[in-house]
Amino acid sequence: MKVEEIRKIAGKFGIKAGKMKKAELVKTIQQTEGNEACFASGMVDECGQGNCLWREDCA
């Protein structure tokens, strides 16, 4: 997912993206949703979150 798309999602949560990088922004969204901020943590195979919006980009 492109950063601009992520910024739009962040805006829906009232998150001001500012100059946040992609991983930081996704983690902030995850926390706001009440989920573990695990994006890009290398745990994609162990996370068990198959329906995660970020899974495709996660590594």
pLDDT at residue 29, as a whole number: 96
Whole-structure pTM value: 0.87
Task: Please choose, from the candidates 46, 58, 42, the residue with its C-alpha nearest in 3D space to the C-alpha of residue 30.
Answer: 58
List of residues 6+ apart from 23 with CB closer than 8 A:
39, 40
> pLDDT 10s per residue in the chain (59 long)?
999 999 999 999 999 999 999 999 999 999 999 888 999 998 888 888 888 889 888 87
State the pLDDT at residue 23.
Answer: 94
Axis-axis angle for helices 3-12, 22-33 (nearest 10): 30
pLDDT given at position 49: 82
Tell me, rounded to whole angstroms, the distance of Cα 51 from its chain centroid: 13
Q: Map residue 53 onto helix, strand or coil.
A: coil
| Residue 39, pLDDT score | 93
